[in-house]
Amino acid sequence: MKRILRRQIIYAMGTSSKPVIYVNPGETLRIETEDCFSHQLIKATDSFDECVDFSKVNPASGPVFINGTSPGDTLKVFIKKIELDKQGVTVAIKDLGVLGHKVKNSQVEIIPIESDAIMFAGQKLPRRPMIGVIGVAPAEGEVPNSTPGDHGGNMDTLDVSPGNYIYLPVFVNGAYFAIGDIHATMGNGEVCGTGVECRAEVELTIDICTEYDWKIPVIETGDSFYFVGSADTMDHAVEKATNEAVMFLERTNRIPWNTAYMLASLSADVIVSQAVNPLKTARIRIPKSCLNI
């Protein structure tokens, strides 16, 4: 099995960085990832303001060149497993998150990651390993890893997790795939700007999708499809995700667009993925029980 090391990282999605590995469709990779703060916060006494170099935030391991992929293709990535480090970090800092303007003093919390749960503030939280940053190069230029978009990126979406597929549109030859920003747990919305940020090792299989042709990231679980939209506002993110979902219902069920729109209103769930990044991200869940597949 091919492997990417934690030191093989990029800070923006694009084609300016030389691929660290070349793979064929269908290959399985083992990828080490750095935490979103590049391991600059490892003790509770570490000061965020003194320790964190913002130029080293949100590293992603890669890029991976997938042989035979070209613009118009769709990647199909199966997340086999996420193995978490023994500790993670979460922070509250000024001007970060939904209520960052109310934070008077930055706070760093180092959190042990147990095998069955995560203890914080006297509460037992479930382990919910997920990939915060996952994406490909955009059609032109580069996008900082902190920013989500149609290429993927920092979507911070809980369902990018073991046992699920994520589909990503391809914009350049080779795709230039990369991942990072693993969370041991996080709530939908990530309201203070962080989950339990940690190092990890991820095992995944990258293939070319032959069933679907999507223009934005889509996640497939055992019982649902999630269409993921990122935009300048949450309203626009919801609109983007809903538009793709309704068109999928229209095509798959062979029904008029208006009917598909109404079916989505009756059966689909809109979920906030994250409300804190440079672009906001929402997803809409379409249950497979409503699809003629």
Dihedral pair phi/psi, residue 91, rounded to 5°: -140, 155
Dihedral pair phi/psi, residue 37, rounded to 5°: -100, 15
* Helix (H) or strand (E) segment spanning residue 257: helix 257-267
Mean pLDDT of 48-56: 91
Pick among 3.20.20.70, 3.40.50.300, 3.10.28.20, 1.10.8.60: CATH of 218-290: 3.10.28.20
The whole-angstrom separation of Cα 281 and Cα 186 is 15
pTM: 0.97
Mapped onto helix, strand or coil, the DSSP state of residue 241 is helix
Domain ranges of the chain: 218-290
**Range with lowest mean pLDDT among 44-53, 196-205, 240-249:** 44-53
- Please determine, for residue 186, whether its predicted confidence score (pLDDT) is greater than 90: yes
What is the reported pLDDT for 40?
96
What is the reported pLDDT for 293?
87
What is the reported pLDDT for 268?
98
Percent of the chain with pLDDT over 90: 97
Mean pLDDT of 97-104: 96
- Please determine, for residue 62, whether its predicted confidence score (pLDDT) is greater than 90: yes
Give the model confidence (pLDDT) of 29-39 as tens digits: 999 999 999 99
- Please determine, for residue 49, whether its predicted confidence score (pLDDT) is greater than 90: no
What is the reported pLDDT for 216?
98
Contact indicator for 168, 204 with CB cutoff of 8 Å: no
